[in-house]
């Protein structure tokens, strides 16, 4: 299944396919951005399957590097999938997810229904 651009609740969203290449560092984030050249995408929706396990270990700085690069190019990011196991294992990750979900730039949501509810409320 390929990545696909859709409009959801008034926002243009790139729905990344779960089976695509991992977004594991700044270069892979730039590669993803390159596929969007000329499109007016506001949100990048990344399934948990597209992220390496290191993304959820904050001391590796993978999450910070990837998210910062995507945001530098003006994209908001939603990570979709169950990360309850990783959150339970890390106080730092739990706090990061909580603070991110309070903002408007980076969200961690369980599924597309939760994403739609957040996008609808943000519109």
Res 8: pLDDT: 94
Instruction: Give me the pLDDT at residue 71, please.
Output: 94
- The predicted-structure confidence for 39-55, as pLDDT tens digits, reads as follows 899 999 999 999 999 99
Please check the confidence at residue 122 and state whether its pLDDT lies above 90. Answer: no
Q: pLDDT digit string (tens) for 78-98? A: 999 999 999 999 999 999 999
Strand order in the sheet with 43-47: 4-8, 11-15, 43-47, 76-80, 106-109
**CA dihedral (90, 55, 39, 6) positive or negative:** negative
Give one word for 10, left, alpha or beta, with left for phi > 0 and alpha for psi -120 to 50: left
Task: Tell me the whole-structure pTM to 2 decimals.
Answer: 0.94
């Amino acid at each position: 299944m390929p990545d696909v651009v859709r409009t959801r609740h008034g926002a243009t969203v790139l729905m990344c396919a779960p089976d695509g290449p991992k977004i594991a560092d700044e270069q892979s984030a730039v590669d993803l951005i390159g596929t969007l050249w000329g499109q007016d995408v506001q949100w990048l929706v990344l399934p948990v399957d597209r992220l390496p396990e290191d993304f959820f270990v904050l001391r590796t700085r993978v999450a910070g590097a990837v998210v910062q690069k995507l945001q530098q190019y003006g994209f908001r990011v939603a990570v979709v999938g169950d990360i309850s196991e990783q959150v339970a294992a890390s106080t730092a990750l739990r706090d990061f997810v909580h603070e991110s979900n309070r903002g408007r730039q980076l969200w961690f949501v369980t599924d597309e229904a939760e994403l739609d509810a957040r996008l609808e409320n943000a519109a």
